[in-house]
Structure 1
Amino acid sequence: MVNTQGIGPLWYTGVALLVVGQIMRMTLIRAQRPLRAREPLLLRLPVTGRWLALNGPATKVPSHTHSHAQTYAIDLKYVPEGSGRGVTRQAPPFRWLWPLARRPRLYPTYGMPLLAPADGVVVATAGRQRDHLSRMSLPAFLYLYLEGFVRSLGWPNHLLGNYIILDLGEGVYAVFAHLRRGSLRVAAGARVTAGQEIAECGNSGNSSEPHLHFQLMDGPDVMTARGVPFAWHYRDDDGVERIGVPEDTTHCVPVAPLPDRSA
Structure 2
Amino acid sequence: MHRTLARFRTLFVLLGLALALTAPLHGVGLLTVAGFVLILGGVVLVFVPGGVQGREPVVLRCPVDGRWVPVNSPADKVPSHGTHELGQTYAIDLVHAPDPEREWRPLRRWPLASRPETFPSFGREVIAPAGGVVVQASGRQRDHWSRNSWPAFIYLLVEGMLFRQVLSLLTLSAGRFIVGNSVVLDLGDGVYAVFAHLRHGSVRVRKGDRVQAGDVLGEVGNSGNSSEPHLHFHLMDRPRPLAAAGLPFAFRYESDGELQTGVPGGRAPFIPVTDEPASA
- TM-score of the pair, normalised by structure 1: 0.84
* Other-structure match for 2:115: 103
Distance 1:169 1:230 in 2: 14
Shift of 1:32: 4.9
Q: What is the CA RMSD across the aligned residues, in angstroms?
A: 2.3
* Other-structure match for 2:158: 146
Change (3 A) 1:21 1:200: farther
Shift of 1:126: 1.1
In structure 2, what residue type is equivalent to 1:179?
L
Please point out which of 199, 214, 230 is paired with 1:211: 230
* Other-structure match for 2:71: 54
Cα deviation 1:114-159 (Å, max 9, x = unaligned): 1000000000011000000100111111111111212223321110
Distance 1:158 1:39 in 2: 31
Shift of 1:257: 2.4
Shift of 1:247: 1.1
Please point out which of 118, 121, 135 is paired with 2:133: 121
Change (3 A) 1:49 1:218: same
Structure 1: runs of 5 or more not aligned: 1-12, 85-89
Q: How does 1:22-61 map to 2 (within 5 A)?
A: 23=40, 26-30=43-47, 32-61=49-78
Distance 2:207 2:228 in 1: 27
Change (3 A) 1:45 1:26: same
Give yes or no for contact 1:91–1:108 (8 Å, CA) kept in 2: no
Aligned with 2:192: secondary structure?
Answer: strand
Shift of 1:199: 0.4
Shift of 1:259: 6.9
Aligned with 1:198: secondary structure?
Answer: strand
Give yes or no for contact 1:32–1:68 (8 Å, CA) kept in 2: no
Aligned with 1:60: secondary structure?
Answer: coil
Distance 1:45 1:131 in 2: 24
Give yes or no for contact 1:47–1:114 (8 Å, CA) kept in 2: yes
In structure 2, what residue type is equivalent to 1:180?
R
Q: How does 1:88-237 map to 2 (within 5 A)?
A: 94-96=107-109, 98-150=110-162, 151-155=164-168, 156-236=175-255
Distance 1:221 1:93 in 2: 30
Distance 1:108 1:21 in 2: 43
Distance 1:169 1:94 in 2: 38
Cα deviation 1:201-223 (Å, max 9, x = unaligned): 00000000000000000000111
Change (3 A) 1:171 1:102: same
| % same residue | 51
